Chain A
Amino acid sequence: MNSKEFIAARVAKEFKDGDTVNLGAGLPNLAVKYLTPGTKIYLQAENGIVGFGPHDPEQPINPFCTDAGENPITINKGGAIVDSVTSFGLIRGGHLKLSVLGAMQVDEEGSIANWLVPGGKMAGMGGAMDLVCGAKKVIATMEHNAKDGSAKILKKCTYPLTGERVLSAIVTELGFFEVTPEGLVLREISPNVTVDEIRARTEASFTVDENLKEMTVN
């Protein structure tokens, strides 16, 4: 399991039977692969679906049945289609249990930046700013450090924000941090990593749960 798969597998442990969940493209989307057998979740997509799964390769592709990344999908038995207004009513209105997003930077106040690199192409935020507002739990996922080794869990995000003080938790390959009103708390630590090592690779300050657990996956 590489680090992205490990993060995705840890996120999957957050899924409880009956949860409605929106998973961002890329890493968050991987989490469905690690769903605990017997746990049923309802995947929601921004373009207006509740209850779908991957396209069945045995079936023809229907161009009118796509997810928010324009991938062909299968709507589950008992699934539902809504329009864009209602789809974001579900998101913003607190009807999702969990929203999982990829992140470029996060900070100790629970803010997240994931849509624009300063000086980069203005591609837009899509549904990301909506997806960090309203879900019962908002989880940012990312590799702990940038390719050049620099910290991505910061005291304050330097990239343009997606949302201010919106996160519930941050999951990286090194650990699971909960965002609390008192700041970040390291709740779980990956095997073969020390707290000192995490501190050295993190700019934000955080406290360590006195019952710190090992981060394990199914």
Chain B
Amino acid sequence: MVQILNLEEAVRHIKDGDIVLGGGFYANGTPERIIDEMIKQGQKDLTIVNNDGNTTEKGMGRLVAAGLVKKCIFSWCGRMTCLPQMVDEGKIELELCPQGSLAERIRAGGFGLGGILTPVGLGTMVEAKWGERTHLNGQDWLYQSPIRGNVAIIEADRADEEGNLVFNLTQRNFNQIMCYAADVVLVQVNNPIEPAGSIHPQEVHVPGILVDVMVQA
């Protein structure tokens, strides 16, 4: 059953050392209010999984700048000015993953699969550092492991009291799949939470059974 909590209570679900999946593509779809509260509460030694981290002032990058993160899994982090030095100094671990493989690894984690076999990244640094080449059905593939989180932090446009979610246009990005791949799914809902039945079943992007906690933004 989904709970509707205030921001402080909701973010208490996150613990030190957790793997946190964060929805969003730069600012679009990033649950900034949840990140504000995470910085306030200061859960540390986090592993964060996000498309890009955005910057040290906006998005998941703020958690890095606040010193709360021990490992990042990103497809890109070119806007995170503080990260390269922190990586060089061994203060933080950075795993890079091709964007589509990242989405697919999260899907595998959420859908009960043992990982993915993909042509993406063969012959690159991804194979050398984070994957394993295998040969099946006459073709080479890169094996990449599934990704699951202890918590997923999500931004949605609309939700009903059953936790059914609807995203606004490209806000959807990684938010949809991350709801499948974490033990606790924590959603920042931007519009007033509506009575059950307000969202037509065929318009639901994420079924409410996946959602654990909603916060009214």
* A38 sits at the interface (CB 8 A): no
Q: Could you tell me if B28 and A85 are in contact, using CB atoms closer than 8 angstroms?
A: no
Instruction: Report if B100 contacts A (CB, 8 A).
Output: yes
- Contact across chains for A65 and B170 when beta carbons are under 8 A apart: yes
**Residue A124 at the B interface, CB < 8 A?**
yes
Q: Given the complex of chains A and B, what is the CA–CA distance between A116 and B77 in angstroms?
A: 12
Shortest Cβ distance from residue A22 to the other chain B in the assembled complex, whole angstroms: 11
* B120 at the binding interface (Cβ < 8 Å): yes
Beta-carbon contact of A83 and B177 below 8 Å: yes
Q: A63-B28, A66-B28, A130-B101 are in contact. Are A161 and B124 (CB under 8 A)?
A: yes
A interface residues, how many (CB within 8 angstroms): 44
Taking CB atoms, residues of chain B closer than 8 Å to A63 are 27-28
- Near B by CB (< 8 A), chain A positions 120-172 give 121-130, 133-134, 160-165
Check B170 against A163 for contact (C-beta < 8 Å): no
Interface size for B (C-beta < 8 A) is: 46
Q: Mark B1-43, 1 if CB is under 8 A from A, else 0.
A: 0000000000000000000000001111100000000000000
Closest to A126 in B: B76
Does A41 lie at the interface of the complex (its beta carbon under 8 Å from any beta carbon of B)?
no
Q: Which residue of B lies closest to A81 (CB)?
A: B169
Q: Mark B148-179, 1 if CB is under 8 A from A, else 0.
A: 00000000010000000000111111111100
B126 adjacent to chain A (CB < 8 Å): yes
Q: Which of A13-21, A42-50, A174-182 contacts B (4 or more CB under 8 A)?
A: A42-50
Nearest residue (CB) in B for A90 is B100
CA distance A164 to B172 in the complex (A): 31
Is A75 located at the chain interface by the 8 A CB criterion?
yes
Q: A84-B173, A124-B78 are in contact. Are A130 and B123 (CB under 8 A)?
A: no
- Check A124–B75 contact: CB distance below 8 A: yes
Question: Which residues does B use to contact A, with CB under 8 Å?
Answer: 25-29, 51-52, 74-78, 84, 87, 94, 96, 98-104, 106-107, 118-126, 157, 168-177, 205
Q: Given contacts A88-B101, A121-B84, A130-B98, list 9 more A-B pairs with CB under 8 A.
A: A46-B100, A64-B171, A66-B26, A83-B173, A83-B177, A127-B75, A128-B98, A129-B101, A162-B124
Those 6 A-B pairs whose CB atoms lie nearest each other, nearest first: A88-B100, A164-B123, A123-B78, A130-B100, A124-B76, A126-B76
Cross-chain pairs A/B with CB under 8 angstroms, 19 sampled: A47-B170, A47-B173, A63-B27, A64-B28, A64-B169, A66-B170, A68-B25, A70-B26, A83-B172, A84-B174, A84-B176, A88-B99, A92-B118, A123-B76, A125-B96, A127-B75, A128-B98, A130-B101, A163-B124
